[in-house]
Structure 1
């Protein structure tokens, strides 16, 4: 049997990882500035993380949600304290897509409506409702097509206002910062308008913090920079530092009942151990503060580079939009400097999503490599322009 070929792969096989570094089977060392789509929040193989999962595995790894699992309650308490949503309730699942699926379902149950507002360049996952709320027709199968999702221009307050007036809206779903869309940041006014309209029309505000949450922006959730409170918040990625886990943070105004939601593997002992370790490390090592400081440092070092059109960032969630397509630049970083970065749906945007405990020393390696490549590319462009001038 062969693997189903759906991923374009780099020819790399990593066999060891620690902190912000990975080692290949050829004993080549790579600097990881992408964390597998912002999943690695506290660094690869963090000792607290390894110790907690190992200890849990020796005790018990799995039983279903038909019994009490006290470590779920421990995670919920820590998460409430860290995020400021301590009066909310928590449902654990397995992934970001599943979290968004449950969030959309809860909103529909609560409001008894089915229309949801989402936005251009949005990405919410690849399951049924989540992919229908995603702005990419290439990944929406015919079975997922529905008119229940209304796409509006990102950051367009007037369009938002008009849509609420002419539809019965169950919810608005918006990423704290759009990741796949190229690190597009919702304005404070836009997020505050969503909150006002959801209150006015008794709709729910769903904040998808799957990539932008868990301290990445210097606050626990990106939407908190706008001083708004969501009704439902979805989390995953950095939540488990590589262990598959997701969750839904739910306003107390949404009533729970037995059978409303369910999962076989969600909230299992190992997922909870991973989640607990992440929350403890974020607090004990002051990683939200580090994310803000390192993000500002990286911005200051790159902001005047001539190869860059725009830098969009908060904390350690970076979209570096180049003046040219980023694929060759990204490949040069990987091939010549062994640095892993990400791309986005907009072809010129390089995405940087390192672990929250990244250091200046590690960022300086990237900064030096970036400047070198930019300088060499500028020289090549100058030579090409001179040739064209001679030929004409």
Structure 2
């Protein structure tokens, strides 16, 4: 037996990592500006994180949700405080797709409806319900196609209201900032409009903060750049565990829990909660949300100066930039010649940057110098 060949693999084998650095099995050092799809929030192998996990392993790593797990209450309280959502409840699961699946179910249960609105170039995961919300034909099997999912143009409030008027819409799901879609930052008026329309028509607004949450944008959640916006449901994962699989749904007080409504075997286990608590403790102790904001402002400003960069988008350390050439050869040069990991997107000319929140400006400056050299070279087109 061998792994099912569904990933286009880079010919690099990481064996060690620390902070924003990775070393392969040949001892070569790399700069990580992608964080494994925005997962590495507090840096690789952070000492407090590894200590927390090791201590938990020495006690108990897992038992099911049929018993008391005090760490879940501790995590819920801490997340509520740092995110400024202390009155919301938290349902724990294992991934962003699972978080979105459960948010969809909650909205459908609460409204008694089955229709959902999502947006073009959005991405909410690869499980059945989540993948039905995307317009990427590469990942949608016939089984995933549903006539009650309406994928509308991103930013088009008129189209949203028209669909809501037709009824049967349980919820609207939107990313705080579109990630795979190329780091598309929603206009505050668009998000405010979605909030107003969802309330007017009895739908539930779901903010997918799986990639854009946990301080990545210089706020705890990207939607908090819009003053006063309070979604019914907020989904999280990726940076929540810094590499340990965990996800969650923040649930507004309008929802009432009942036994058996949602469930999971592994979600909220002792080890996952210990990892997630360590992440929040480091974010708070090291003021990483402010670091993300400051480093992001520096990086955006400097990227805009580079010849060959045509547009820069994003907030904090969730950045996408377009170039006057295709991204693939540039990313290839970055990884092989300059030993730097970056990310792709649905835009063929777009590179995504999602580094650890505690990366320093010295590392960012080195990347900027290397990118400038690549774009100045006529051979990389």
TM-score by length of 1: 0.96
Once residues 23 and 138 of structure 2 are traced to their aligned partners in structure 1, the CA distance between those partners, rounded to angstroms, is 34
Give yes or no for contact 2:108–2:114 (8 Å, CA) kept in 1. Answer: yes
For residues 312-336 of structure 1, give each alpha carbon's deviation from its aligned partner in whole angstroms, at most 9, with x where no partner exists.
1100000011111100000000111
Once residues 161 and 107 of structure 1 are traced to their aligned partners in structure 2, the CA distance between those partners, rounded to angstroms, is 18
Q: How many residues align?
A: 380
Task: Pick which of 129-138 and 284-293 moved more.
Answer: 129-138
Q: Given the superposition, is the C-alpha separation of residues 229 and 380 from structure 1 closer, same or farther in structure 2, using an over 3 Å criterion?
A: closer
Q: Which structure 2 residues correspond to residues 11-160 of structure 1 after superposition, within 5 A?
A: 11-160=11-160
Once residues 301 and 180 of structure 2 are traced to their aligned partners in structure 1, the CA distance between those partners, rounded to angstroms, is 24
- Structure 1 residue 380, shift from structure 2 partner: 7.2
- Cα RMSD after superposing both structures: 1.0
Once residues 272 and 74 of structure 2 are traced to their aligned partners in structure 1, the CA distance between those partners, rounded to angstroms, is 12
- Structure 1 residue 262, shift from structure 2 partner: 0.3
Once residues 275 and 380 of structure 1 are traced to their aligned partners in structure 2, the CA distance between those partners, rounded to angstroms, is 41
- Structure 1 residue 306, shift from structure 2 partner: 2.0
Aligned to 2:212: 212
**Does 1:264 pair with 2:265?**
yes
Gaps of 5+ in 2: none
- Structure 1 residue 167, shift from structure 2 partner: 2.5
Once residues 366 and 308 of structure 1 are traced to their aligned partners in structure 2, the CA distance between those partners, rounded to angstroms, is 14
For residues 241-267 of structure 1, give each alpha carbon's deviation from its aligned partner in whole angstroms, at most 9, with x where no partner exists.
000000010011111000000000000
- Structure 1 residue 271, shift from structure 2 partner: 0.3
* Structure that is richer in helix per residue: 1
Once residues 201 and 156 of structure 1 are traced to their aligned partners in structure 2, the CA distance between those partners, rounded to angstroms, is 17
Secondary structure at the counterpart of residue 59 of structure 1? coil
- Structure 1 residue 107, shift from structure 2 partner: 0.3
For residues 154-177 of structure 1, give each alpha carbon's deviation from its aligned partner in whole angstroms, at most 9, with x where no partner exists.
011211122212233100000001
Aligned to 2:343: 342
Q: Which structure 2 residues correspond to residues 294-309 of structure 1 after superposition, within 5 A?
A: 294-309=295-310
Once residues 364 and 255 of structure 1 are traced to their aligned partners in structure 2, the CA distance between those partners, rounded to angstroms, is 49
Aligned to 1:10: 10
Q: Which structure 2 residues correspond to residues 232-381 of structure 1 after superposition, within 5 A?
A: 232-377=233-378
- Structure 1 residue 367, shift from structure 2 partner: 0.6
Task: Pick which of 191-200 and 164-173 moved more.
Answer: 164-173
TM-score by length of 2: 0.98
Q: Which structure 2 residues correspond to residues 175-254 of structure 1 after superposition, within 5 A?
A: 175-227=175-227, 228-254=229-255
Once residues 30 and 23 of structure 1 are traced to their aligned partners in structure 2, the CA distance between those partners, rounded to angstroms, is 6
Once residues 299 and 40 of structure 1 are traced to their aligned partners in structure 2, the CA distance between those partners, rounded to angstroms, is 20
Once residues 327 and 8 of structure 2 are traced to their aligned partners in structure 1, the CA distance between those partners, rounded to angstroms, is 16
Once residues 14 and 250 of structure 1 are traced to their aligned partners in structure 2, the CA distance between those partners, rounded to angstroms, is 37
- Structure 1 residue 201, shift from structure 2 partner: 1.1
